[in-house]
Amino acid sequence: QVQLVEAGGGSVQPGGSLRLSCAASGSIFSINTMGWYHQAPGKQRELVAGINSGGNTAYADSVKGRFTILRDNAKNTVYLQMNSLKPEDTAVYFCNAVVQRSRYSGYSEYWGQGTRVTVSS
């Protein structure tokens, strides 16, 4: 079993910062990609940022220049540094990881429980 444990959500004022973390644990042979998605009320879950095993990153246009995704392979942990936060960033943020559990296995996708981010005055 693979589990993703998230932390770092909260409430901040516009212009503030948050740092989200997500640690993967359990039976893990390798992790391909890790990423962050968000979901606002009444809307579909969307990719915010992703990072592969080589450190290549991708961002949604709405967060480029403000958010940074980082990965610590030794800890199987991914971070999302969120700066210059806007009210439009308010959503539940979910961690995602594509994991190979053994050298004989294919890849499976796992999700964290979600952590809420609220940006308001």
How high is the pLDDT of residue 89? 97
N residues, the chain = 121
How high is the pLDDT of residue 96? 98
How high is the pLDDT of residue 1? 87
Tens-level pLDDT at each residue, the chain (121 residues) = 899 999 999 999 999 999 999 999 999 999 999 999 999 999 999 999 999 999 999 999 999 999 999 999 999 999 999 999 999 999 999 999 999 999 999 999 999 999 999 999 9
What residues are paired with 99 via a beta bridge? 31, 108
Cα separation, 24 vs 103, in Å, equals 18
Cα separation, 103 vs 47, in Å, equals 28
How high is the pLDDT of residue 118? 98
**Cα Rg of the chain, angstroms:** 14
How high is the pLDDT of residue 115? 97
* Residue pointed to by tokens 């969120």: 82
How high is the pLDDT of residue 46? 97
How high is the pLDDT of residue 119? 98
